[in-house]
Amino acid sequence: MALAIGVMGAGSIGCYVGGRLLARGHDVLFIGRERIRAELTAHDLRLTDIGGAAEVVAKERVRVETEAAMLADRDVILVCVKSAQSEEAGRALASVVRKDALIVSMQNGVRNAETLRQVMPGKIVLGGIVGFNVVSKDTGTFQRGTTGPLAIEMPADPADVVARVEALGAALTESGFETELPTDIRSKQWSKLMMNLNNAVSALSGAPTPQLIFTPGYRRVLRALIGEALMVLDAAKIRPARLGAIPVRYFPTLLALPTAVLRVAARAQLQMDPEARSSMWEDLMRGRMTEVDFLNGEIVALAKTCGASAPLNARIVEMVHDAENENKGSPGLTPDALWSALDQ
Ligand SMILES: NC(=O)c1ccc[n+]([C@@H]2O[C@H](COP(=O)([O-])OP(=O)(O)OC[C@H]3O[C@@H](n4cnc5c(N)ncnc54)[C@H](OP(=O)(O)O)[C@@H]3O)[C@@H](O)[C@H]2O)c1
């Protein structure tokens, strides 16, 4: 089944995922800001992978528009805006998209699909998960920094929607993604959120992901944040489902391993570009608001609903907001500086 695909929010994830589909010959239309339209008019779209392999789509083949109205004929719309922009993007799409179009949230956090559903009543909105990391390198280049799956929610029915989700899954697989179609995406989104607690540590330290994982001091911070979040999830009776090889409940144990042992374990599970960093780090460096309220902030909000507390994640949220307000990029905190800031 050939699908006409639209990307709402041509940024790191939109251009990378949409670009891979386009490179495999799928019909893809990007909606983005004038800035990205100018960039992709001037430069070919270049998708680089871990290890440096690159796929290039000639600029003449890349269609970027700035108005959501252009998505009226699309079978599938991949929503790739930041969480704080979901409501606005959903409102822009609501009166435009076909009634039978699949709207897939490719965003982090656990509430974006619900936000889209609320502003697009009657539309088919599905959750999704992007399990890898991409940063924009400007001049049309989007660099993937880690391995990881793509997941799209599979509804129980009706049969025609199931068939289109299967067709989308097949298109993504054929475009080189490790694709999953889980029926219960929410419990996997909680697992992804636990992994994304790392993003704030990345943003505040400025350290590349491998350095975060293999530096004991950063691991101590990460372990404390994840350990606290796991207690909150337990109190709220939420069971995160497995996403990737290792269940998130083992993360604190893994993070406590000696660095040499962890290096061996990580090598078998995850490939990382030495310079991979989180999109939250990229947001701070580009002077943009981050998604911290939808990640660590989600743990703080959940704690309030179930009589638990999450002071460490609350402190991290404050620190990221301070960095946003200062607008000087990443504060470059060392492991000790981060740890003592958490103690305050
Ligand atoms: N990057 C990653 O490694 C990664 C990995 C997994 C999941 N995710 C998730 O994927 C989502 C997107 O992240 P990202 O890093 O790709 O963000 P991004 O690079 O900021 O891309 C989003 C783009 O959409 C544009 N946009 C927002 N509203 C729009 C509208 N109404 N019309 C046209 N363009 C619009 C934004 O422009 P402005 O900035 O000018 O508003 C921005 O250029 C987030 O939820 C993120 O958590 C990201």
Residue 42 amino acid letter:
A
pLDDT of residue 275: 87
pLDDT of residue 43: 98
Helix crossing, 335-342 with 216-235: angle to 10°? 30
Cα of 13 to ligand 1 centre, how many Å? Answer: 7
DSSP label of 83:
G
Cβ neighbours of residue 341 closer than 8 Å, sequence gap 6 or more? 315, 319, 333
pLDDT of residue 181: 97
Whole-prediction pTM? 0.96
pLDDT of residue 280: 96
pLDDT of residue 242: 87
The ligand 1 atom at the shortest distance from the C-alpha of residue 279 is: 1
Angstrom distance (rounded) from CA 249 to CA 239: 9
| Helix or strand run (H / E) with residue 116 | helix 112-119
Cβ neighbours of residue 154 closer than 8 Å, sequence gap 6 or more? 162, 165, 181, 182, 183
pLDDT of residue 218: 97
Cβ neighbours of residue 177 closer than 8 Å, sequence gap 6 or more? 17, 20, 149, 150
Domain 187-342 CATH superfamily: N-(1-d-carboxylethyl)-l-norvaline Dehydrogenase; domain 2 (1.10.1040.10)
Nearest by Cα to 150 from 87, 192, 213, 196: 192
For 140-165, the pLDDT digits (tens) are 999 999 989 999 999 999 999 999 99
pLDDT of residue 52: 80
In the sheet that holds 45-48, the strands lie side by side as: 54-57, 45-48, 141-144, 134-136
In the numeric block, the tokens 């740890």 are attached to 339
Ligand 1 proximity of 130 Cβ (cutoff 6 Å): yes
Ligand 1 proximity of 149 Cβ (cutoff 6 Å): no
Angstrom distance (rounded) from CA 48 to CA 257: 32
Query: Do residues 320 and 204 touch, judged by C-beta distance below 8 A?
Result: yes
What's the full length of the chain, in residues?
344
Half-sphere exposure of 1 (CA within 13 A, CB side): 17
Cα of 326 to ligand 1 centre, how many Å? Answer: 22
Residue nearest to atom 24 of ligand 1 (CA): 9
Ligand 1 proximity of 17 Cβ (cutoff 6 Å): no
Q: Which residues of the chain are in CATH 3.40.50.720 domains?
A: 4-183
Hey, what are 320's tokens? 């990221």
Q: Which residues of the chain are in CATH 1.10.1040.10 domains?
A: 187-342
Ligand 1 proximity of 33 Cβ (cutoff 6 Å): yes
Question: In the chain, which residues have pLDDT < 50?
Answer: none
Q: What angle do CA 10, 158, 94 make, to 5 degrees?
A: 35
For 27-75, the pLDDT digits (tens) are 999 999 999 999 999 999 999 998 788 999 999 999 999 999 999 999 9
Ligand 1 proximity of 83 Cβ (cutoff 6 Å): yes
Ligand 1 proximity of 198 Cβ (cutoff 6 Å): no
pLDDT of residue 109: 97
pLDDT of residue 116: 98
In angstroms, the Cα distances linking 169 to 44, 47, 179, 274 are 26, 20, 6, 29
Q: Which CATH class is domain 4-183?
A: alpha beta
